[in-house]
Structure 1
Amino acid sequence: MQLNNNVTEFILLGMTQDPIRKKIVFAIFLLIYLGTLLGNLLILVTIKTSQALGSPMYFFLFYLSLSDTCLSTSIAPRMIVDALLKNTTISFSECMTQVFSAHMFGCLEIFILVLMAVDRYVAICKPLHYMTIMSHRVCGVLVAVAWVGSCVHSSAQISLALRLPFCGPNVIDHYFCDLQPLLKLACTDTYVINLLLVSNSGAICTVSFVLLMFSYVIILHSLRNHSAEGRRKALSTCMSHIIVVILFFGPCIFIYTRPATTFPMDKMIAVFYTIGTPLINPLIYTLRNAEVKNAMKRLWSKKLISDDKG
């Protein structure tokens, strides 16, 4: 498909073209990315090494942190390096790879958030059957389905991108390659492709968000039958999830459920779900979760003891 295009590379304008602001962007997003890696890798290591975090909720949290790490890594490093360069070009193949990886791990995050809502629903509304319904085998199958679904979604997105003919210009007013800004550069009528984009990405975001909000309404309604302590603990967990869902899905729905137009605010809004949410997730799930904090303390204590013995 690339042979039919006159464009072999694109120019990414990034967050800004002002030299001073580019240095500020570099510093801020380097810190954000390092914080994202540190926070999510800490959660991954803690869950893998702690026997106390063996419940399905933490099994799904492990994959949420993994998808956060991969989503941020597919976008942030390139953005950070480009902030230091004058020539911010990206080859056609690299651009298509970024489209695929961003949608792959973004979609995986959506599916994992849905699975976490299902897990909380079963835990709160069907507590006596929780371990039977959410067995290790069932959880493994659900995560495998999430991976397959993400691959199907991102394959559909990349097939749409590869169908677009580019004959110039090749300047993308964004900090990463995505279908919306690419549609603006295509030298063909993109009406049908935009409809397919909305029916794919837009539908996944909107339907998942509605299902998640509906499930949490049911969960919160059912909490009235629980004890005060059980209600407090379940409410704390659910509120963490709801905060993540709103921060992630709000920007996604804004970007992917509208006609093929771009707005100056798109780049800042995209920052929320591509770079912001992967940083916020570990903060929310550790600061608001006593079990994770205790497991991290035990892990740190073991490391200090082993270092002292060494």
Structure 2
Amino acid sequence: MGSTECVLLSLMAYDRYVAICNPLRYPIIMNKRVCVQIAAGSWVTGCLTSLVETVSVMQLSLCGNNIINHFACEFLTLLKMVCVDTSMVQLIILVITVLLVPMPMLLICVSYAFILSNILRISSVDGRGKAYSTCAAHLTVVILFYGTALSRYLKPSSVDSQEIDKFIALVYAGVTPMLNPIIYSLRNKEVKTAVKKLLVRNPFVPS
């Protein structure tokens, strides 16, 4: 799921780039077929990387009481329970992590560099507001997801705290996906109106 979201978020950045920098060509470039290919490609990438990681870890012998101190059977947690040399598996995981975290992030940064350059050339305040609104939700999700994922998988080996790892994994695997529908739906005018009405009715929030 994490691998799939990494790829999908980077392709969504490209979608934002096309929407803002080539708005007239958007329906042609991002047609239904392309959207299906993007979704399918993201899922295939996620499944393949998960398969490689799972097969490589499950071939190793575990030692100790085999009790996993985590919310899920995560491969990084399993590696800590292995008795044999894990350097080859760690190399595989490093390669996959580099392909799925820094490279999609680079695509996101490049996309938003072009987007920002285009926004700065927009003369009307209303036009800039619409452009910022288009990108705000996606950027929020990117920061939440990649911030926690980077701190989990690319942190120094000297920083080893199981409780911190569990908290970070909970944020990027559980909290961020739960917030996604809320974050994206806040662009909807009806949802904004409903939230404002809810806040006005709340006695703890000043009107």
Q: 2:151 aligns with which of 249, 254, 257?
A: 254
Which segments of 5 or more consecutive residues in structure 1 lack a partner in the other structure? 1-104, 297-310
* TM-score normalised to structure 2 length: 0.83
Structure 1 residue 280 corresponds to structure 2 residue 179: yes
Structure 1 residue 228 corresponds to structure 2 residue 162: no
1:173-209: CA deviation from partner (whole Å, max 9, x where unpaired): 2111111111010010112211211111343122212
Superposed counterparts of 1:1-310, under 5 Å: 105-226=1-122, 227-258=124-155, 262-263=160-161, 264-290=163-189, 293=191
Q: Give the whole-Å Cα distance in 2 for the aligned partners of 1:132 and 1:203.
A: 29
**Identity over aligned pairs, percent:** 40
Calculate the aligned-residue CA RMSD, in Å.
2.0
- CA apart distance, 1:213: 2.4
Checking the alignment, whether the CA contact within 8 Å between 2:7 and 2:100 is kept in structure 1 is no
Matched to 1:288, the amino acid is R
Q: Give the whole-Å Cα distance in 2 for the aligned partners of 1:151 and 1:145.
A: 10
Which segments of 5 or more consecutive residues in structure 2 lack a partner in the other structure? 195-207
Matched to 2:10, the amino acid is V
- CA apart distance, 1:214: 2.6
- CA apart distance, 1:219: 0.7
Q: Structure 1 runs of 4+ off > 4 angstroms?
A: 258-261
Matched to 2:70, the amino acid is H
Checking the alignment, whether the CA contact within 8 Å between 1:191 and 1:260 is kept in structure 2 is no
* TM-score normalised to structure 1 length: 0.57
- CA apart distance, 1:164: 1.6
Q: Give the whole-Å Cα distance in 2 for the aligned partners of 1:272 and 1:214.
A: 26
Equivalences, count? 190
